[in-house]
Amino acid sequence: MAGWSCLVTGAGGFLGQRIVRFLLEEKELQEIRALDKFFRPELREEFSNPKHRTKLTILDGDILDKKCLKRACQGISVVIHAASLIDVVNAVRRETVMDVNLKGTQLLLEACIQADVPIFIYTSSLEVAGPNSFREIIQNGHEEEHRETRWTSAYPYSKKLAEKAVLAADGWTLQSGGTLRTCALRPMYIYGEGSPFLYAQMTHALKNNGILKYDTKLSIANPVYVGNVAWAHVLASRALRDPEKAPTVRGQFYYISDDTPHQSYGEFNYTLGKEWGFCLDSRISLPVSLQYWIAFLLEIVSFLISPIYKYQPSVTRHLVTLSNSVFTFSYKKAQQDLGYEPLFSWEEAKQKTIQWIGSLVEQHKEALKTR
């Protein structure tokens, strides 16, 4: 596909901006359109002054704006749909999460059909596969197991339905008579510089004398570096543009992990933060089964009083399960079909992330001085 063009949604986000940077290095890519509702000023400046041969166009727009999506897709060869509303604590209205993650995806698929965009790559989530129970142990899982979340919480449910919609759209007839090719990528827990989850964990700890929360002792996760996830998207775009590889990749989903050591979320945060004086909370935490039933009771209370008061429990059964499960997956299928190999080693990813956490520590110190 000589002289191709690409639209990236969520291009101002943690993952999206890195996908854009990788795409700028792609041969024969004539234009990148970076769509998002918000771009940080420094990122807008970076994208407005690219030192590359590829044209980079910033589009300020909403994933729910049909007219915006129609304009954004005109003349585009590949759509990478990374825009998403991530909410694992149910802090956002359910309708809002469902609209952005599911309806937005459906509208974008329709825009692709109308604009004759032949390739659609969806950034899915590990959560579409589970975990469904903290008692179930899944290690080095793979795509052939066809795992599916049973949670109805807005985030995993919306991502599951959106992924199904994308994969079911493979083979749809485009306006001009061509055929739509789709695939989905399911990254593990994504970390790296600018991670909103790491930022929340570290800033909370800084306000608590450097003590990191450690209520996830029983979990085993395989975090994946953001640069490797972005790279996987580029490889997926190459595969779906390749006449030989495309038939194998079409309509498929792929787990994306790397060589980051498998460990609990708390231990992982400690590994990244110990150089800056962070330590794990040594207090004894409640048994996971007790946490689960407390969460269940809080959910019942929330439901019972919902007609008169909107009460959002601080913890839910879904969150307890997510935070305390053994749930890891292999990237062998992505390796086989997409040619995926982690671009960044664990040591590289670790050092980059540790340096960024160090900058958060320095900012905190400066803030204390100005008080």
Per-residue pLDDT of 40-58, as tens digits, reads 999 999 998 877 789 999 9
The catalytic site residues sit at 155
pLDDT grade, residue 2 (50/70/90)? low
CA–CA distances in Å: residue 43 to residues 22, 36, 67? 15, 12, 25
- Are 141 and 329 spatial neighbours (Cβ–Cβ below 8 Å)? yes
CA–CA distances in Å: residue 296 to residues 135, 303, 315, 318? 16, 11, 9, 10
Q: Which of 321, 285, 286, 333 lies closest to 137 in space, CA to CA?
A: 321
Mean of the pLDDT values across residues 56-83? 96
Q: How far is CA 337 from the centre of its chain?
A: 21
Return the domain boundaries, the chain: 4-192+223-260+328-343
Q: pTM of the predicted model, to two decimals?
A: 0.95
Q: What is the b/e burial string over 308-344, where b = at least 16 CB atoms within 10 angstroms of the residue's CB?
A: eeeeebebbbbbbbbbbbbbbbebebbeebbebebbb
| pLDDT of 371 over the 80 cut | no
pLDDT grade, residue 259 (50/70/90)? very high
Fold of 4-192+223-260+328-343: Rossmann fold (3.40.50)
Check residue 218 and give its pLDDT: 84
| pLDDT of 294 over the 80 cut | yes
Check residue 271 and give its pLDDT: 96
